[in-house]
Structure 1
Amino acid sequence: MASGVAVDDEVINLFNDIKKHRKQKAAFFRLSDDKTKIIVDHCMKVMCDDADPFKSFKDMLPKDDCRFIVYDALFDTEDSKNREQMIFISWAPDTATVQKKMIHASSRENIKKLFGLTAEWQVNDLCEVQPEDLAERLSRDTVVCIDGKVLPGKCG
């Protein structure tokens, strides 16, 4: 990687598992404590009884640390139902240290390419983490529902 930060094999294995089995809603990756590689932080499993999985996702974002996230979104557009797309999310809150944000920024393009995901969302503040903002990155068509939650102003 350009930043000198390697990607742990466990990151790649988890990504491939999510892509194949779709049992995880999101996977969070972080910089290791020694700042030499990107490692798995934790996963968010698909919960059938979760009324708002997007809120659960938002609650898992650290307030003062960066993360790379793969989010598996299930959504409906005005024209079609039950579309699924994995999106690469770069979380770098303003409250993270400058060093962490710099390493995160210099590693972002390479890890995104490694995953091969075209949909991307770069977020720096919790107020930006809204389903409507995610919807804009998922499809050129109008998204009316994400993960079972109807978006404001849309009819399901």
Structure 2
Amino acid sequence: MAFMRSHSNASSGMGVAPNIRETFVELQMKKAFRYVIFKIEEKQKQVVVEKTGATTESYDDFLASLPENDCRYALYDFDFVTGENVQKSKIFFIAWSPSTSRIRAKMLYATSKDRMKHELDGFHYEIQATDPTEMDIEVLRERAH
């Protein structure tokens, strides 16, 4: 772990802020948030929590929180009702890497993704999106059923 931190660069990926795992558990177990957005802070050489969304916020609120021209990681707790009328919830890990973002940002997010996924062990599905249509609510609905 110390090795990763001291040698963090674009090829080895970034470190992960200590509160990331706690924030995930709060979303997963306590249902404290609807979503969490994570950002790479290059100066700190780590991924940090940028924003949490209240459980009352919608998927549109979540999408509006993602930058149009920059990469982010996100978790979204998707509630739905099955065909048998059972209320369920699935957690999506979303790697947002818009085609308009800088090459360096895309590289940093790509090389840090596995480390981030390891830290967030317990999500159900992963979506890699370069365009808003790739993470439309219908995409989540299809994957979750």
Specify if TM > 0.5: yes
Give the count of matched residue pairs. Answer: 135
1:113 to 91, 114, 118: 118
Q: Secondary structure at the match of 1:21?
A: coil
Question: 1:29 is matched with which residue?
Answer: 38
Counterpart-to-counterpart distance in 1, 2:86 and 2:110:
35
Q: Give the alignment's TM-score, normalised by structure 2.
A: 0.85
Q: 1:42 aligns with which of 43, 51, 56?
A: 51
Residue number in structure 1 paired with 2:20? 11
Aligned partners of 2:35, 2:107: CA distance in 1, in Å?
A: 24
Q: 1:133 to 1:126 in 2, by over 3 A?
A: same
CA distance in 2, matches of 1:23, 1:4: 29
Match of 1:55 in 2: 60
TM-score normalised over the length of structure 1: 0.79
**Greater CA drift, 93-102 or 105-114:** 105-114
2:132, 2:28 → 1: CA distance?
26
Alignment root-mean-square deviation, CA: 1.7
Runs ≥4 in structure 1, deviation > 2 angstroms? 1-4
More displaced 10-residue stretch of structure 1: 106-115 or 95-104: 106-115
Contact 2:20 2:119 in 1 (8 A): no
In 1, the alpha carbon distance for the partners of 2:30 and 2:124 equals 20
Asked if 1:20 corresponds to 2:32, the answer is no
The alignment-based identity, stated in percent, is: 26
CA displacement 1:10-64 (0-9 Å, x = unmatched): 21221122122102000000000416110010011111xx6xx111111111011
Question: Structure 1 residue 125 and structure 2 residue 131: aligned?
Answer: yes
Indicate yes or no: 2:106 matched with 1:101.
Answer: yes
CA offset digits 1:99-152 (Å, max 9, x no partner): 01001011112211221124111111123331111122223xxxxxxxxxxxxx
Q: CA–CA distance in 2 between the matches of 1:20 and 1:8?
A: 20
Structure 2 matches for 1:56-95, cutoff 5 A? 56-95=61-100
**More moved, 85-94 vs 26-35:** 26-35
Q: What SS does structure 1 have at the residue aligned with 2:23?
A: helix
Would the aligned equivalents of 2:99 and 2:130 in 1 still touch at CA under 8 Å?
yes
Unmatched tracts of structure 2, length 5 or more? 5-10
Whole-angstrom distance in 1 between the partners of 2:131 and 2:124: 22
